[in-house]
Structure 1
Amino acid sequence: MGAVLKFIYDHIAFQNYGIAIILFTVVIKSLMLPLTIKQVQSTSKMGVLQPQMQEIQKKYKDDKEKQSAELMKLYQENKVSPAGGCLPLLIQMPVLFSLYYVISQPLKYMAGISAEAIGQLYEMVPQGADKLANMKDLSIIAYFSGHTELLEKVAHLLKPADLFNMDFLGINLGAIPAWNPSVYINPGVGIHSFLLLLIPVLSALTSYISAKYSMQATPQTSGDQMQSSMQKNMLLMSPVMSGFISFTVPAGLGLYWIIGNVYQIAQQMFMNRFVIKKPPNSSAANKAVKERTIEGG
């Protein structure tokens, strides 16, 4: 993944880390589009089948084995899988974790610099220069970008091309947004701190819009109170979690999250228009339930 991001950075993104992350996000999301379409179709079909599933659960509430068999038969007849919506999420998780390492350790994963060389360079960074123990690569890039006259001394360890341009619209994507409110009321606070704050704010906001739009497009049944409750909790938890995590990781990962949410909103609009089929009307659904009930005796 580091090699892919490095290629985009060097050849497509005008050697800007922010643009590289945006293009990388679009590429990853586009490659996953076929899986996402299957996920949405599966979720949509499961919503349509809810009345029949509830009827089966009610009819065989005292016979769990028969209930499971009938539900499985219903899934097979309609060619749906209860776990069909999980695959894209399972694939996205390693991508997210991998991107965290790529963004926090670009010298190692993008530039291919050894851990030993990074350790030597890190020792040269003074204590008062954003020296973060868990972000050695970013501390090195920040320090030597501001002291290019020192590059001659470390030419055998670090090249000018390895000092990735982390500035995106005035935001250092290698920095971590501050969560402490006192930082923003300090008389000496700079504009960069407020620009960094935009990352978790936009991350939470786009997560909320994305989750809300997605839930509105998911077919629901009026009697399914548990599903409705779970969706409401998810609508609240999604922006809270994304905003909280954005305060603990480099801003570049928050940018990835924001672009991913925006892409997902546009993707959901596409799904609603061209992929998701309208569920059958209530009379048709009730008819299907009655037919299965008669067949089952």
Structure 2
Amino acid sequence: MMTLFAPITNFFSAIFEWLHNFVIGLGVTGGLSYVLAITILTIVIRACLLPFNIKSANSTRRMQEVQPEIKKIQEKYKNDPQRANAELMKFYKEKKVSMTGGCLPALLPLPILMALYYVFYNMTIEGSFLWIPNLGDSDPYFILPILAALSTYLPSYLMTKATPNNGEGAMNMAPMNIGMSLMMGFMALKFKSILVIYWVLGGVIQLATTYFVNYKPAMAKKNELLEVEAEKEAARAPKFAMPEYEENNKSAKKKKK
């Protein structure tokens, strides 16, 4: 496993050491120097991943737009799965919709996390920060593992809110999101605190990215559709006339004159 991640591990080791030396050169020492270095590294990594997140959001949005047509194809060839798959592949190609474009970017942080695990595993890190006695050890108060679980769950929860509820598929996302969050919290119990800080910071940035790239546009689109439906309902609503009331009202107006 170490050999597999060796190129990317060596790359991140060099980058982190350069950033740490840069921060020390600014006069910052102790645990704060490591936290500032990992903060800068996290921002750089997330900035590099941002184009993939935007592409993922566009792919997901496009997939949602063509869902009615996909359901029609599935219904038309429900008795012929092979023909249905062929027609769907043809449809995706014509509409330039990617089946994997929406999920692959979400997996990119995981190999980076594993590479950084080996970076810090082989690196001597000493220094305290806030409640953490030593950034080179795990958090003895279990605050970081809780934050790691929350920072994993909240972006995925916001993503499900930004995705229309399409029945069982949407319902199945909740257990998977909770399971992933619990797994990250459990692993953070043994991870060095500096690595967990990286993951928590990345989760906060991902939460902000998901809000502005996925959630906010989705809610704006949803409100727009609701307004259109409300206008259609208002146009279809029958208008009741009350002849007797109108006649009496006209008579009353004539008497006043």
TM-score by length of 1: 0.63
Instruction: For residue 165 of structure 1, report the CA deviation from its aligned partner.
Output: 4.4
Aligned residue in 2 for 1:95: 112
Match of 2:19 in 1: 8
Larger radius of gyration: 2
Provide the secondary structure at the position in 1 that maps to 2:137.
coil
1:199 aligns with 2:148: no
Contact 2:188–2:196 (Cα < 8 Å) also in 1: yes
2:189, 2:51 → 1: CA distance? 32
Gapped regions of structure 2 (runs ≥ 5):
1-11, 229-257
Taking the TM superposition and a 5 Å limit, the aligned residue runs for 1:56-75 are: 56-75=73-92
Q: How many equivalent pairs are there? A: 207
How large is the Cα RMSD of the aligned pairs?
Answer: 2.4
Q: Does the 8 Å CA contact 1:208/1:239 hold for their aligned counterparts?
A: yes
Cross-structure match for 1:247: 189
Which aligned pairs between 1:1-297 and structure 2 lie closer than 5 A? 1-12=12-23, 14-15=28-29, 16-106=33-123, 138=124, 164-171=125-132, 172-177=134-139, 193-194=140-141, 197-221=142-166, 224-225=167-168, 227-272=169-214, 278=221, 281=225
1:8–1:20 contact (8 Å) kept in structure 2 = yes
SS of alignment partner, residue 172 of structure 2 = helix
Higher helix share: 2
Greater relative contact order (Cα < 8 A, sep 6+): 1
Conserved? CA contact 2:126–2:135, under 8 Å: no
Cα distance between partner residues in 2 of 1:166 and 1:33: 31
Letter in 1 for 2:153: Y
State the Cα deviation string for residues 24-61 of structure 1 (Å, max 9, x = none).
Answer: 11110111100110011111222232222222222212
User: Does the CA-based 8 Å contact 1:56-1:71 persist in structure 2?
Assistant: yes
Instruction: Describe the SS at the equivalent of 2:101.
Output: coil
Contact 2:126 2:136 in 1 (8 A): no
